[in-house]
């Protein structure tokens, strides 16, 4: 049979048959859903399933959280000694944890030694600093480094950091690096040994005097910090910063980056958040290194900060805020709770590099 004959046989042989075929097609089409109707039914079913699953997930999460709290309560009650508070039992537990080992421990001991020298330099020159974040947590909870931590965090008022940079410029034992970090859009300031093979460093975080430590003022600063990040993102003239995410403050082009940060700092003064020391009711983590998405709270009263107290850290006496508990709870909530970042904590120094020749040699003098 030819193709022409096959086509003829498939077609209706009369107008009546063609009309009947058309009516059949119309009947079938009337029973079919339109695309919009099908999508609406899909969305409704998807929504119903999503709501149901979300409810079940929340219920499961609540159940797991309750079980977790019950197990922790049971564990701490069994761990604490007679007449010992739960908080004291927790501190005893943390201070009994094994120390870091290998190159990681050498790095910690080297940073502790550097911190002791930094403390002496600050005291000699009338500069104030205090432990913050993981270093403050380590001092209060562990009496030294958190075993899985590899950096040191210190806070200083802006004027003291500026003086410190001048002082170190005339001291051949140490150096200070100032770089603009594109990854988190911040100004990173570090105090290090002059020996570039030595990886030990102290992170210095800038604080400004604030009119008030209340949350509203702090949120205004968070908003300004977000605007700063957006302005930098839109500035096409900063295209050089992307390929070099850690850009030195002294390098060509850094003046344009610096202008953005200075402009944001001026806005923080103009809107009444940051002020001179004489008018201050608190201090605030400066826009230079304020992470607007991660830190839940970053403004503190003068009473919670000053006068600074002394605490032991790896056998070295360092400065801590007057109310370290308030600082830690603002950052971590229940900071005596069991941590969840033991295996996921960010590595500031490559642990493989710590075993490399020149680096290992530079750290070998810090062995216990």
Q: For the chain, 368 residues long, give each residue's pLDDT as a single digit of tens.
A: 554 555 455 555 565 565 665 666 566 555 555 666 667 766 666 666 666 777 788 888 888 888 888 888 888 888 999 999 999 999 999 999 999 988 889 999 999 999 999 999 999 999 999 999 999 999 999 999 999 898 899 999 999 999 999 999 989 999 999 999 988 889 999 999 999 989 999 999 999 999 998 878 778 888 888 899 899 999 999 989 988 889 999 999 999 999 999 999 999 999 999 999 999 999 998 988 866 555 556 789 999 999 999 999 999 999 999 999 999 998 888 999 887 766 555 555 655 666 566 665 666 666 55
Global pTM reads: 0.78
Distance CA(110)–CA(192), nearest Å, equals 11
Task: For residue 111, give the nearest of 308, 315, 290, 357 by alpha carbon.
Answer: 315
What's residue 83's pLDDT? 92
By residue range, what is the domain housing residue 195? 103-366
Q: Checking DSSP bridges between strand 186-193 and strand 299-301, what pairing results, if any?
A: unpaired
Judgement on whether residues 183 and 217 belong to the same structural domain of the protein: yes
Q: Checking DSSP bridges between strand 153-157 and strand 201-210, what pairing results, if any?
A: parallel
Q: What total number of domains does the chain contain?
A: 2
Judgement on whether residues 45 and 135 belong to the same structural domain of the protein: no
What's residue 2's pLDDT? 56
Judgement on whether residues 107 and 145 belong to the same structural domain of the protein: yes
Q: Checking DSSP bridges between strand 316-320 and strand 186-193, what pairing results, if any?
A: unpaired
Angle 147-191-289 (CA atoms, 0-180°, nearest 5)? 85
Spacing of C-alpha 54 from chain mean position: 28
Residue 16 domain-assigned (yes or no): no
Judgement on whether residues 128 and 246 belong to the same structural domain of the protein: yes
Distance CA(210)–CA(282), nearest Å, equals 5
Judgement on whether residues 208 and 243 belong to the same structural domain of the protein: yes
For residue 205, with 0-12 CB atoms within 10 Å meaning exposed, 13-18 middle and 19 or more buried, which class applies? buried
Domain-terminating residue out of 79, 95, 111: 79
Q: Output the CA–CA distances (angstroms, integers) from residue 33 to 44, 233, 358, in the order listed.
A: 15, 47, 73
Judgement on whether residues 298 and 336 belong to the same structural domain of the protein: yes
Angle 108-137-93 (CA atoms, 0-180°, nearest 5)? 90
Residue 4 domain-assigned (yes or no): no
Q: Are 55 and 47 in contact (CB under 8 A)?
A: no
Residue 11 domain-assigned (yes or no): no
Q: Checking DSSP bridges between strand 153-157 and strand 130-131, what pairing results, if any?
A: antiparallel
Eight-class DSSP state of 274: B
Judgement on whether residues 70 and 110 belong to the same structural domain of the protein: no
Residue 9 domain-assigned (yes or no): no
Judgement on whether residues 268 and 128 belong to the same structural domain of the protein: yes
What's residue 231's pLDDT? 93
What's residue 209's pLDDT? 96
What's residue 356's pLDDT? 62
Spacing of C-alpha 220 from chain mean position: 19
Residue 95 domain-assigned (yes or no): no
Tokens of 310: 């002394």
Residue 225 domain-assigned (yes or no): yes
- Ramachandran area for residue 157 (φ above 0: left; ψ -120 to 50: alpha; else beta): beta
Distance CA(80)–CA(78), nearest Å, equals 6
Residue 178 domain-assigned (yes or no): yes
208 phi, psi to nearest 5 deg:
-115, 155
Task: For residue 202, give the nearest of 137, 131, 103 by alpha carbon.
Answer: 131
Judgement on whether residues 72 and 193 belong to the same structural domain of the protein: no
Judgement on whether residues 187 and 287 belong to the same structural domain of the protein: yes
Judgement on whether residues 62 and 160 belong to the same structural domain of the protein: no
Domain-terminating residue out of 22, 44, 79: 79
Residue 23 domain-assigned (yes or no): no
Judgement on whether residues 75 and 110 belong to the same structural domain of the protein: no
């Amino acid at each position: 049979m030819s193709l022409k004959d096959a086509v003829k046989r498939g077609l209706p042989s009369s107008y009546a048959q063609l009309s009947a075929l058309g009516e059949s097609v119309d009947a079938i089409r009337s029973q079919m859903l339109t695309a919009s109707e099908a999508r609406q039914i899909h969305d409704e079913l998807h929504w119903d399933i999503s709501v149901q699953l979300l409810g079940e997930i929340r219920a499961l999460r609540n159940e797991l959280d309750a079980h977790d709290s019950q197990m922790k309560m049971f564990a701490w009650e069994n761990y604490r000694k007679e007449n010992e508070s739960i908080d004291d039992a927790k501190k005893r537990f943390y201070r009994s944890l094994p120390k870091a080992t290998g190159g990681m421990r050498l790095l910690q001991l080297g940073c502790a030694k550097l911190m002791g020298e930094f403390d002496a330099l600050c005291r000699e020159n009338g500069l104030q600093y205090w432990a913050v974040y993981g270093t403050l947590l380590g001092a209060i909870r562990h009496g030294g480094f958190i075993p899985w931590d590899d950096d040191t965090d210190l806070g200083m008022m802006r004027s003291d950091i500026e003086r410190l940079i001048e002082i170190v410029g005339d001291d051949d034992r140490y150096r200070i690096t100032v770089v603009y970090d594109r990854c988190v859009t911040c100004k990173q300031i570090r105090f290090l040994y002059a020996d570039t093979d030595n990886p030990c460093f102290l992170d210095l975080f800038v604080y400004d005097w604030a009119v008030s430590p209340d949350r509203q003022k702090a949120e205004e600063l968070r908003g300004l910090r977000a605007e700063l990040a957006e302005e930098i993102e839109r500035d096409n003239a900063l295209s050089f910063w992307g390929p070099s995410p850690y850009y030195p403050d002294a390098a060509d082009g850094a003046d344009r980056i610096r202008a953005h940060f200075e402009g944001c700092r001026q806005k923080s003064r103009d809107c009444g958040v940051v002020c001179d020391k004489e008018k201050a009711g608190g201090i605030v983590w400066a826009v230079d290194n304020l992470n607007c998405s991660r830190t839940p709270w970053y403004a503190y009263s003068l009473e919670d900060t000053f006068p600074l107290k002394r605490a032991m850290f790896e056998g070295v006496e360092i400065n801590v805020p007057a109310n370290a508990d308030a600082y830690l709870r603002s950052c971590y909530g229940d900071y005596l709770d069991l941590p969840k970042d033991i295996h996921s904590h960010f590595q500031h120094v490559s642990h493989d590099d710590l075993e490399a020749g020149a680096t290992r040699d530079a750290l070998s003098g810090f062995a216990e």
